[in-house]
Amino acid sequence: MSDSEEEIYSIMFSSLKHPARRKILRMLSEKPKSFSQILEELGVSSSHLNYHLESLGELLSKTKDGKYQLSTFGEASVETMRIVEETPIQKNKEQFSLLNHKPTMAIFLIMIIVFSGVLAFQYASFDQLSSDYSSLNLKYKQLLSWSADTDRAISFIEDVVQIDITDYQVALLSNNIEYRSDLGGVIEEILRYSLSNSEDNIEVVLRFRNQELSRYQINMFEGSPTYSKPQPFNLVVAAKGLLERYRIYKDSSYLGQMIDLLALVDEVSNIEIIEDNMKLKISASQETTEFFWLYTLDGVDFSPKSLSFIYEDHALKQVTDGWYLFESGTTEVNVSREEAIILAKAAAQDFSWTYEGEIVSNFVVLDDPIDVEFHPHPREDFDILVPYWYVVLYLDRVYPGEVDRIAVGLWGDNGEIADITAVTV
């Protein structure tokens, strides 16, 4: 059993032994709750609650609005609690009144029957509990198999980005696994690492989807990374080296084509190069430079199927890889940019939202500014990209709920409205 698996089981079973933590898990199995809501229901001091929440560790995660919720491991813990609590307990309340005139043999036979019944019931209960445990253990093994190996995450930091981790105290801050139903059942794992020493305080976030690297991001709170090898000042040379190391790490054929395309570039400038169905766009500003490879077909850029390197102040800031996750769908674009704006404005006329029980609908849409982005998007199949317009309409003022914009998404092939939302300040 690996150290990470032992730690998860240790947290799980130590939590199940504590009544307050069991109560917290039961609360969150119903719905996510804020710190204050848990505090009110549990009836303990805030310091005690903080202690319990920290002790629950990987069994909890947080929603986007900061509420506590069960992680996948937390849900498995609650399932374990239910298995234990719902296992029937044999209650022997029968009393035998033996009359003096009953033969000794009858007493003996009754004892045999009762004893046999007890044994049969205990065997059935044990067999059911054993079956439930096996099912739960299988679920844990499946979850652990989904988890991207932390060695692979460290390998990317050390071998691809070339950060010298021997110079840092490295700590895994969190490792959250989520089943992304909106992406067709993709298993998404996000690992957060802290790299610190006397001079630097750095956070590294890696996202894996179906055990493939999807994003790397570095946040430098203090100092700057220490590298194991000198990093080229010329960003084209730096990007070429990074791409070569990434190909060794990932071993995917599309990276070879990207290397060939980047070989046509000598210096950083705002350019676009197309070869077959791949486009390389380099965007450079005073502080930020992006190398962006994307799939293109019949004049349609399928931007989510792409690889991106972003440098800030000549240091690698972010790597995003969605090439392996998506495929191109139809290239039919029957809605122009101008038509998309007209359709979006028409949809906004019938749109409303609710704030504090009141419906807000009497808003005014400005003719200018308007943000329009062509960004292919999944429709029925999560991995098939379809032409899609995203139009942001600005309002004349801030309306109830801090709303100052309306965002409209519509399909580029048929003009149908895909979604419309109120956007806050």
d(CA 366, CA 405): 10
Which residues have CB under 8 Å from 187's CB, separation 6+?
146, 177, 178, 179, 180, 209, 210, 211
Q: Where are the domains of the chain?
A: 3-90+102-146, 148-229, 231-328, 337-424
pLDDT at 94: 43
Q: What is the pLDDT of residue 146?
A: 43
List the beta bridge partners of residue 278: 275, 295
pLDDT at 255: 96
CATH number of 3-90+102-146: 1.10.10.10
- Virtual torsion, Cα 356, 35, 15, 205, nearest 10 deg: 90
- Output the pLDDT for position 93: 42
Say if residues 290 and 309 touch (Cβ distance below 8 Å): yes
At residue 145, the pLDDT reads 43
Q: CA–CA separation, 351 vs 355, rounded Å?
A: 14
Distance CA 280, CA 262 (A): 8
Tokens of 243: 């791409």
Q: State residue 51's pLDDT score.
A: 72
Residue 142's pLDDT is: 44
Give SS3 for 316: strand
pLDDT values of the chain reduced to their tens digit, one per residue, 425 residues: 555 555 555 666 666 667 888 888 888 999 998 888 888 888 777 667 777 887 787 788 888 777 889 887 778 878 877 776 665 544 444 444 444 545 555 555 556 665 566 565 666 656 666 666 665 655 554 444 444 457 889 999 999 999 999 999 999 999 999 988 878 788 999 999 999 999 999 999 999 999 999 999 999 999 999 999 999 999 999 999 999 999 999 989 999 999 999 999 999 999 999 999 999 999 999 899 999 999 999 889 999 999 999 999 999 999 999 999 999 988 999 999 999 999 999 999 999 999 999 999 999 999 999 999 999 988 888 889 999 999 999 999 999 999 999 999 999 999 999 999 999 98
Question: What's the token pair of residue 43?
Answer: 């009836």
pLDDT of residue 125: 59
- Tell me what pLDDT residue 45 has: 72
**Dist. CA 423–CA 404, nearest whole Å:** 6
Note the Cα 377 to chain centre separation in Å: 19
- Reference 80, options 150, 16, 131, 165; nearest CA is 16
Sequence-ordered alpha helix ranges (H) in 89-234? 104-146, 150-155
